[in-house]
Amino acid sequence: MGPGLLAAINHAAGRTAQWAAIALGLSIPISTALDNLLLAVVLAGWLASGAWRMKWDAVRGNRIALAALALYGLLLAGTLYGTPAPGEVRATLAKYLDLLWIPILAWLFREGAMRERALYALAASLALVLATSFLLMADVIPHAPFLKGDPSYPVALKTRQTHGLLMAFGAFLYAQLALAAVARLTRILWCVLALLAAANGLLVVPGATGYLVLGTLALYLGFVWKGWRGIAAAAAAAAIAGSLLMTLPGPFSERVHLIRAEIAQWRPGIPNALSSTGTRIEFYRLSIEIVKDRPLLGHGTGAFASSYAEKTKSQVALPTRNPHNEYLHMLVQLGLVGLAALLYLFWTHWRLAPMLATPLSRHLARGLILTIAVGCLFNSWLMDHTEGLLYAWLTGLLFAEQRPR
């Protein structure tokens, strides 16, 4: 094989991987099966594209990629100790594989035109999810097996929690695209989509995590606008809007009243399978007890389920394989060392965001890490497919343009 032919094959493989990476922006909010197919194409194209020295240099110069690799390295090291249940180590490592996509995607998105196409692909996909949800609510779309919801529960293609995340971050994405738009009509379009996404997340599909993420992103928008005075103004506006929504019958007031009631009913050591909030609090309480046994290095990768079962064998407790809190999950598995690595990844993401080339990228990067950091308080989002892949995909995309300062 001549050098010219090899170069052509490498170029074609690289381009194929880039277009598959762009297509992930369309598939992540919609289809897990399509995600996996596209990821296979991305990996095959990346491997066949050559340029290994350049790829290694790119990884060495990308501190986000290094932080993600370090966290996954600790998870690998965590397999050397502990007593996980059979199959849990492999399953846990597989769920955290999204961390390894960050350096690959950062390489593939090194061209500005590719990053722009990918962002528009995500914006279009979120608009499709938004439209599907509203059409379901209006009973315009007939029932189909691939749709998760119905007119009384109008989630589109994902679970309620994931739908809430997509709408909250979608509203923020559209708001940032509106701020970056030059043409007046384009700006109006993005503003309308931002308002519709926020309304969908607040008024159509109930989801407490989505509410908190949306509120956090609203505070960040206030900070971008006027600093700490902007945060105060955004907080006041959010408080007024929340108070008004609480006076109206609908998903928001029903969900908030339910959470309040469940918190009031919770009692330590008394599980309640019908109480989502109480169940989570009980998971958190028991996880902290598990952490106390091995606080420094934890119980090992994949050992949460077995450690939880051992801790609760002499008491009545609902079974679970993770505590629905990424920070506690990492503490149980890798102890304070693992938690420090996770927080370092998030802190590095936040701290390096101002070094990105455009205001759009800088604000999207900080909005993304705020979204994930808040969501991980109530879910193990780095392990969940859509949430973890969205974080890895957008992180690779945004920090592919990192410039030293």
Cα→Cα distances 35→78, 162, 311, Å: 28, 15, 37
pLDDT at 156: 82
Measured CA angle at 204 (ends 203, 209), to 5 deg: 75
Amino acid present at 309: A
Residue the block writes with tokens 């196409």: 117
- Residue 210 in contact with residue 172, Cβ under 8 Å? no
Measured CA angle at 81 (ends 79, 82), to 5 deg: 100
Long-range Cβ pairs for the range 251-259 (8 Å, 24+): 251/202, 251/203, 251/204, 251/205, 251/206, 252/202, 252/203, 252/206, 252/211, 254/206, 255/206, 255/207, 255/208, 255/211, 256/208, 259/208
What gap in Å lies between CA 386 and CA 392, rounded to an integer? 10
Q: How is 353-396 classified by DSSP, letter by letter?
A: GGGSSSHHHHHHHHHHHHHHHHHTTTS-TTTSHHHHHHHHHHHH
pLDDT at 405: 44
Tens digits of residue pLDDT in 341-356: 999 999 999 999 999 9
pLDDT at 339: 97
**Bridge partner list, 267:** 270
Tens digits of residue pLDDT in 122-173: 999 999 999 999 999 888 887 777 787 777 788 888 888 899 999 999 999 9
Tens digits of residue pLDDT in 74-91: 999 999 998 888 889 999
- Residue 367 in contact with residue 176, Cβ under 8 Å? yes
The domain limits of the chain are 3-401
Amino acid present at 167: M
Residues (pLDDT < 50) of the chain are 404-405
